[in-house]
Structures are given as structure tokens and as C-alpha cells.
Amino acid sequence: MSKGKYYVTTPVYYPSSKLHIGHAYTTVAADVMARFKRKIGYDVMFLTGTDEHGQKIERAAKENGISPKEFLDKTVGDIIDLWKTMEISYDKFIRTTDDYHKRRVQEIFKKLYDKGDIYKSEYEGWYCTPCESFWTETQLVDGKCPDCGREVELTKEEAYFFKLSKYQDRILKLYEENPEFLQPELRKNEMINNFLKPGLEDLCVTRTSFDWGIPVPFDEKHVIYVWIDALSNYITVQGYPDNVENGYNKYWPANVHFVGKEIVRFHAIIWPAILMALDIPLPKKVFGHGWIILEGGKMSKSKGNVVDPVVLVNRYGIDAIKYFLLREYSFGQDGIFTNEVLLNRINFDLANDLGNLVSRTIAMIEKYNSGIIPTSKLDVESDENLKNNATSVWSKVEERMENFDFSNALKEIWKLVSRTNKYIDETTPWILAKDENNKDRLDTVLYNLAETIRILSVLIQPFMDNTARKIWVQLGIDEGQGTNWEDTMEFGKLVTGIKVNKQSPLFPRIDIKKELEELIKGQENKQENKKEETNVEKPEITIDDFAKVDMKVAEVVKVEKHPKADRLLVFQLKVGEEIRQVVSGIAKYYKPNELVGKKVILVANLKPVKLRGVESQGMILSALHDDELSLVTADIESGSVVS
Ligand code: MSP
């Protein structure tokens, strides 16, 4: 019987072809929570999607020389592919350009207007396009966006405003009366101290300076502010306001919105205020998790320090990545990603602790009982400790998951993994096997091991579905044969007499030193290989393919030899107002000082890489003739777009 409904959401993502491991963090956590709740008996609705309107998208499409629709078709497709690779078990995927969403956002806007909570005025202030956020003069930090530190633009236009200020007291009261609403606790303090105490100002909720958005239904030269559009996705996808019967009535209010800490303010202030204005229930919880950062700070495409989740999944498998993300980092806090930490987790927790436990047990059943799961005949008192441990983990996992404490939920499961490994050391089956008189005891030990592994496999399934299934294959059981959540509460469910199937190790041990070298080499080679491929005849491309390359004229302001590679030069290039560092393999053809002042062509949107430890943010065009490489130069203003 169902325990009830559970509605869990991720944010709608800004479409981008290159989401990094930090982006994947929100979705992996939501996915595991959805799988967990399904496993323990809830009727789950897991929603994700894409946030496709706004100036940021309009500009990105323009920079790529394509229409927003063309830009979105490619990037949204890439996000869907990524979630497939990461085995994200969403039930619904919303695109904010879907017709039903646009129509319903217009209805929501009209309702707010009719209620008097939206009024027309004039907006003058600062706007951060990458964050799609408005800021007042006093909120800026050193004249820049307080969230991302980038330039803001002064904007003045006729606009509609939402009476956010009116809801200030109700939001404070909401936090007071529902300590569960916003978690972890420190996010609440941030909201109170940074936004609520200084006083909420009314929010500008329309724009006229660009078109890529949902038009205000009664004043079409305005488009609706992208955050109002995006936040509404959580209810429009369920049919609000016109078709509430099946989705909305059943699933709203959401049980939890998973969001990263930088978008808590939208979810914990603006969103509840809109819902209050609409007179509909609020989500039960907003959980603002921390960031996965690199040693140099937050991952971002513009900094070029991103970790590609696809590379990690291809090398180590999705189960290892999900386990690592949720075990290594405390969900509410920031955590630093390094390859070493990842590889150590895989080797110690997965290959050694869990993997060895399973392979040793299956190998012993093969060796000492012809591969047949024996019947337990001679339990001794010391077995009780293992059994009690095994049958009590589920409640600890449930409790940790209730608190969104993924890391400690896994830790509880791994305590049982350790306890079981210790049981092997205590019972020494290889010694028991030497004496035929100990056969009953040996059978019992082997059964207890296999049975505990069955329980473990069910406990890990929400986190590592493939691994759980691989274990079932090894134990010779099918789904449904002791694989339900309730089956973790009882010892002795594993049927005896079935044949085990020895398979390759669940997690092959990694040679960490070699692997780290390969990971670094892989990155360095990528860009060098690209150059060498240039003489190969290439397939035809369309104008759209070509338009994806962002080429700009750049002026050389400084050139130095690469500290570690003779064939490389390190350029500082001025592209409009921006300075870019690019590493190029042309040291054989030019002396550094003869290049300063030249205007070259830069491929500006090439993914940044490190070449022998020096970051390169793009590529300079060159031409090869009779084995002579020459830079392509142009006498055109720096920053000009080449097309
Ligand atoms: N489109 C908005 C959300 C609108 S919801 C009504 C948005 N999109 S996003 O693509 O920029 O971010 C998606 C998710 O990725 C967010 O939860 C964000 O916090 C998360 N992350 C992006 N970088 C991150 C890290 N480096 N670490 C952890 N999570 C981070 O915001």
C-alpha cells in the first residue's frame, strides 16, 4: 500500500551543452531521494526540466549566430542526454517554452494583477544578466553583482512590479512557525539577515528591452521576468490553474524543492510570496545545498575549471559517481572536488569494502559448497550481533534520509559492510572448511554472509541501482525475491539451495597514481590532438555547425615562453575589454616579442584547457603552408566578431 505522495523537484536548468559535476549534484541528490521514497513505498512525482527564456538565452543564441529555438533544441537535447547517462529517474521533464507552461504563466500573472499584487511603474536599477537578477545600488558589492561578482547593467524601463514588500512579515512568520520550511538552518539566517531584515522591496517582474520571454497577456510589449516564469514551472506542469484534477490536486504542495544555495532566495522568499498571493499552499520544504567547488573556487565555464560528469561516468560508472557525491560531501555544505578524493573513495569504500565482501563471499560459497547457498544449521550467539545489525540499518537510513543527510545514510550502510567483513575475520570460514565436522557451522556462516549481502543490496539500491542488481545476479535471485524494502527488516529471507553466479568484481581497483597521470594527460592531449587532426579531410558541415564557432579579433599584448614546454607560447590577448590567456604551439615559428601588437583571430568559445599546467582560454588561428605555420592576422578593431 502506498505511503502517500511525494513530490520532489530540481530547479529547471539553464540550457547548456556543458553542465559540470556541480550542476549534476542537485539532480543526483533529487534522483536518489526519489528512488529512496519509491523504494520505501511512496507514490513519487520527480520533476526536472529546463529554464529557456530570458536575456541570457537570447544573448547566448545571438553569440552563436543562431535563433533561440535552434540554440535550445541542441542544448536541451544535451541536458536530456546527460540525465540519461546519469540514469536520472525523473517522472516529468518540463521545458519552459512548452505551450501549456506559457499559457499558464500568463494566467498566473493575470491573477496576480487582478488581485492588485502587480502594478505598473518604472524600473531604474541594476541587472545581472548571467544571474537574471535585479539589484539595488546598495546591494551591489564593489559595483558588481553580489551573487556572481560579474558586471551589472544599468536599466531603465517601464515595468510591472510585484508587491513583494507586502509579504515580508508573512515570510518571516513562515520561517518562525515552520522551522522545517527552509533547510539547512544556516540558509534561513542568510535569508533573514541579508534580505528580510533590511526590508524587501517590490520586485520588477517584466522587461521591455528584449523579446525572448512570455508576453504579459494584457500588455504585449512586456515579457514576464524569467524567474516568475521559471518558478511557476513547479505548478504549471501539474496543470495549475486550469487543469488541476490529476496532477496538481494530487501532488501539490511539493514535499521538497532541491536547489543550490545561490538560488535559495528565489525559492524561499519570492516563490512563497507568489504562492501566498495566489492563495495556494506553500511547498513543505526548500533544501539549499552547498556547492561543489574546485581548489580555485566555484566551477564555472568562464573560468574553465569545470569537471565533466560524462568523463567521470564513462571512466568509473554512474553508481560510483552517485555514491561519491552523496557520501563525500555533507549535503548542506560546500565541498572541494579533487580526482584524488574521488579515486580514494572508489578504491576504499567500493572496491575494497563492498566489492571484496561480495566477491569473497561468492567465491567461498563456490569453493566450500559447490556454489549453492547453504542452509543455516548452527547459529551461535555471536551471530546475533551481525543479524541485529543487519536488520536495524533500514530505520537509521530512513531517519537520515528524512533529514536529507545522504552522507550519514550511506555511512550507516557501510558500517554494516564493515561489520560483515569483520564477521568473515571472526569466523574464518577457510579454517572451518578444513574439518568436515565443522560443515554445519561453515554452512551457517556462509548463509549469514550471503543473507547480509542481500540486505545490503536492498539498502544501497536507491543510491546504486546497477550495483544492487549485479549483486542479485551473483546471489542468484530475481527482483522481488527478498528485494523489497521490508525485506531488509528480517533476517533469513534468502532462499537456500539456489546457485550463485560469480561475476567480475563490482568495482575494479584503480591504480591511483597511473589514473591521475592519465586524467591530466587526457586533458592536455585533447587540445594538441585537435591541431594535428587539421590536415585530415573533414566531413561537410552546415552553416549552423559553422555558426557555433565564436571567432573574434584579438590584439596580442604579451607573449612569453611556456615554462615547461619548448614548443608552446603563452599569449595575453585583448579581446574588446577582456584579457584572455591562450597557449599556442607556435614557438618554433615565432619569437615572443615579434608578436606583440599583432591582431590575430581567436576561437573564443573553445572549452578552456590546461596545457602542461598553464590554462588556455581559446585557440589562435594559424595556417600551414610547406611545413611553415603562420598566424592568421587581421587589421580590424580588437573584439570584432569574425563570421
Ligand atoms: N535556471 C535556474 C533555476 C530556476 S528554478 C525555478 C538555475 N539554473 S542552473 O542551471 O544555473 O543551476 C541548476 C542547479 O545547479 C542549481 O541547483 C545550482 O545551484 C546547481 N549548481 C550549479 N553549479 C553548482 C556547483 N558548483 N555546485 C553545486 N551545485 C551547483 O539556477
Q: What share of the chain has pLDDT > 70, as a percent? A: 95
Is the Cβ–Cβ distance between 524 and 611 less than 8 Å? yes
- Is the pLDDT at 261 greater than 90, yes or no? yes
Rounded to the nearest 5 degrees, what angle is found at the Cα of 19, between the Cα atoms of 15 and 23? 100
Rounded to the nearest 5 degrees, what angle is found at the Cα of 262, between the Cα atoms of 259 and 264? 55
Residue 467 lies in a domain: yes
Instruction: Return the pLDDT at 565.
Output: 79
- Which triple of cell numbers denotes residue 460? 544501497
548 in the same domain as 620? yes
Ligand 1 atom closest to Cα of residue 16 = 10
Mean pLDDT calculated for residue range 249-270: 98
Mean pLDDT calculated for residue range 481-487: 98
436 in the same domain as 382? yes
pLDDT tens sequence across 14-28: 998 789 999 999 999
Q: 591504480: which residue's cell?
A: 511
Ligand 1 atom 14 nearest Cα: 23
pLDDT tens sequence across 552-605: 999 999 999 888 878 889 999 999 888 899 999 888 888 888 898 999 999 999
Considering Cα of 19, then 21, then 25, then 27, what sign does the dihedral take?
Answer: positive
464 in the same domain as 516? yes
473 in the same domain as 416? yes
Cα 115 to Cα 59, 72, 109, 162, 163, distances in angstroms = 34, 34, 10, 11, 11
Instruction: Return the pLDDT at 365.
Output: 98
509 in the same domain as 378? yes
Residue 173 lies in a domain: no
Question: Which residues constitute the domain of residue 448?
Answer: 338-536
Residue 593 lies in a domain: yes
454 in the same domain as 482? yes
As a three-state string, the secondary structure of 283-317 is CCCEEEECCEEECCEECCCCCCCCCCHHHHHHHHC
Residue 166 lies in a domain: no
532 in the same domain as 554? no
In our burial notation (b when 16+ CB lie closer than 10 A, e otherwise), range 259-275 reads bbbebbbbbbbbbbbbb
- The last residue of a domain, from among 536, 570, 593: 536
Ligand 1 atom 25 nearest Cα: 22
pLDDT tens sequence across 362-418: 999 999 999 999 999 888 888 999 999 999 999 999 999 999 999 999 999 999 999
Using the mean position of ligand 1's atoms as its centre, give its distance from the Cα of residue 10 in Å: 9
By the 10 Å C-beta count (0-12 exposed, 13-18 middle, 19+ buried), 564 is classed as: exposed
Amino acid at position 417, single letter: V
Q: Could you tell me the CATH number of the domain that includes residue 343?
A: 1.10.730.10
532 in the same domain as 570? no
Mean pLDDT calculated for residue range 173-182: 97
d(CA 528, CA 544): 25
- Is the pLDDT at 346 greater than 90, yes or no? yes
d(CA 404, CA 26): 12
Cα 616 to Cα 303, 395, 466, 601, 603, distances in angstroms = 10, 51, 38, 15, 11
- Is the pLDDT at 530 greater than 50, yes or no? no
- Give the relative orientation of helices 439-460 and 356-369 as an angle to the nearest 10 degrees: 150
Q: Residue 458: pLDDT band by 50, 70, 90 thresholds?
A: very high
- Is the pLDDT at 456 greater than 90, yes or no? yes
Which of 230-239, 292-301, 559-568 comes out lowest in average pLDDT? 292-301
Residue 333 lies in a domain: no
Phi first, then psi, for residue 595 (nearest 5°) are -100, -20
Q: What is the mean pLDDT of the chain?
A: 92
474 in the same domain as 390? yes
- Is the pLDDT at 42 greater than 60, yes or no? yes
470 in the same domain as 583? no
Q: Residue 305: pLDDT band by 50, 70, 90 thresholds?
A: low
Q: Residue 523: pLDDT band by 50, 70, 90 thresholds?
A: low
Mean pLDDT calculated for residue range 330-359: 96
459 in the same domain as 492? yes
- The last residue of a domain, from among 483, 507, 536: 536
609 in the same domain as 504? no
Residue 168 lies in a domain: no
Residue 200 lies in a domain: no
Residue 601 lies in a domain: yes
Q: Residue 539: pLDDT band by 50, 70, 90 thresholds?
A: low
Q: Residue 534: pLDDT band by 50, 70, 90 thresholds?
A: very low
Q: Could you tell me the CATH number of the domain that includes residue 573?
A: 2.40.50.140
d(CA 303, CA 483): 45
Using the mean position of ligand 1's atoms as its centre, give its distance from the Cα of residue 500 in Å: 44
- The last residue of a domain, from among 521, 536, 551: 536
- Is the pLDDT at 491 greater than 80, yes or no? yes
Tally the domains of the chain.
2
Using the mean position of ligand 1's atoms as its centre, give its distance from the Cα of residue 13 in Å: 7
Using the mean position of ligand 1's atoms as its centre, give its distance from the Cα of residue 299 in Å: 11
Pocket of ligand 1 from Cβ distances under 6 Å: 11-14, 22-23, 25-26, 51, 230-231, 259-260, 262-263, 291-292, 298-299
Using the mean position of ligand 1's atoms as its centre, give its distance from the Cα of residue 58 in Å: 19
pLDDT tens sequence across 123-165: 888 999 888 888 888 889 999 998 888 999 998 889 999 999 9
